[in-house]
Amino acid sequence: MQDSNPPQEKEHRIRSQAHPLLKVLEMVRVLRAPDGCPWDREQTPKSLTPYLQEEVFEVIESLQSQDAEGFQEELGDLLFLVLFVGEASEDQNLGSLEKVCNRVVEKLISRHPHVFASTEELGESGAIRQWEEIKQKEKEVDGAEPPSSLGERPKGLPALTTAFRISEKAGAVGFQWPTTDQAWEKVKEEHEELEQALKENNRERIEEEIGDLLYSVANLARYLQVDPEASLRATTRKFMNRFFYVEKKLRDLGKTPSQSELSEMSVLWEEAKSALKED
């Protein structure tokens, strides 16, 4: 039986779309059609979750490395997956892309009255506070206890990013140190409390103080407009590259790290810092 949608026609349907975004959407629909790809047809929003998570981190990684070509590719993959999930969601009665798009547009109009309803100049902090106030009212239910200003974070969100976002939410309603210097003083205070817990050798308190220190650092990062998750990833990657260098040099000597002295590895570590031109 002859294919009612020959390959050339499918490609033409995609390429003939007026806007690049529509080309991607048409690609999703072609792949999920009855005469499309068997694998794509079988996917559900749930089955696509691991791919969404992976693509998000690949976009972040390409941004951190300032890889323009890689960023375009990874953001394209993520865009495709978002549209794919949107189309697959309709099969699961979770909604349609049309409803998703209309909902987000209405929400953004509602939360930007200074743009769509007036010409009031709020400034960045004022716009953030207004956003949170409107969001809070949207979630209020008659007769129920008002939701917290802190909102809710996804359970799978990294702890450092969660700390950053929680401090951001609290700051948006005015619960924050007035200056960056005070946020920095809080970091030093938590450091001193950790030192005291170490002297006491109090395991429970050590764990608590490490948590307090990490949270205060995440909060300070917010004042400095630095993403703590991205900074930690960059530092971890830098550490790994230097350690790989040390391992290679030791292999050239017929050794492994466990067969070497710390003093020997420290010399190679300093050599790696210069050789890799990271400092």
Q: Could you tell me the residue ranges of all domains in the chain? A: 111-139, 159-226, 230-275
Pull the structure tokens for residue 180: 């960056």
Lowest mean pLDDT among 7-21, 41-55, 241-255, 265-279: 7-21
CA-nearest of 169, 166, 175 to 131 is 169
Q: Are 158 and 165 in contact (CB under 8 A)?
A: no
Q: Give me the pLDDT at residue 187, please.
A: 97
Q: Are 32 and 41 in contact (CB under 8 A)?
A: yes
> What's the sign of the alpha-carbon dihedral 147, 150, 155, 156?
positive
> What's the sign of the alpha-carbon dihedral 268, 271, 277, 279?
positive
CB atoms within 10 A of CB 74: 21
Q: Please identify, in words, the CATH class of the domain defined by 159-226.
A: mainly alpha
Q: What is the mean pLDDT of residues 97-102?
A: 89
Q: Are 243 and 236 in contact (CB under 8 A)?
A: no
pLDDT tens digits for range 44-86: 999 998 899 889 989 988 888 888 999 999 999 999 999 999 9
Q: What angle do CA 217, 223, 226 make, to 5 degrees?
A: 75
Task: State the greatest distance between any 2 C-alpha atoms of the chain, in Å, as a whole number.
Answer: 81
3-class state of residue 111 by DSSP: coil
How far apart are the C-alpha atoms of 132 and 144, rounded to whole Å? 19
pTM of the model: 0.66
DSSP 66: T
How far apart are the C-alpha atoms of 235 and 230, rounded to whole Å? 9
Q: Is 70 left (phi over 0), alpha (psi -120 to 50) or beta?
A: alpha
End-to-end Cα distance, the chain:
66
Confidence band (pLDDT; 50, 70, 90) for 3? Answer: very low
Confidence band (pLDDT; 50, 70, 90) for 2? Answer: very low
How far apart are the C-alpha atoms of 71 and 84, rounded to whole Å? 19
3-class state of residue 117 by DSSP: coil
Lowest mean pLDDT among 45-49, 54-58, 116-120, 196-200: 116-120
At 41, which helix (H) or strand (E)?
helix 38-42
Range picked from 14-23, 104-113, 202-211 for highest mean pLDDT: 202-211
- Reply yes or no on whether the pLDDT at 92 is more than 70: yes
Q: What is the mean pLDDT of residues 271-276?
A: 91
- Reply yes or no on whether the pLDDT at 249 is more than 90: yes
Q: Give me the pLDDT at residue 4, please.
A: 60
- Reply yes or no on whether the pLDDT at 123 is more than 90: no
pLDDT tens digits for range 250-265: 999 999 999 999 999 9
- Reply yes or no on whether the pLDDT at 279 is more than 60: no
Amino acid at residue number 248: K
- Reply yes or no on whether the pLDDT at 190 is more than 90: yes
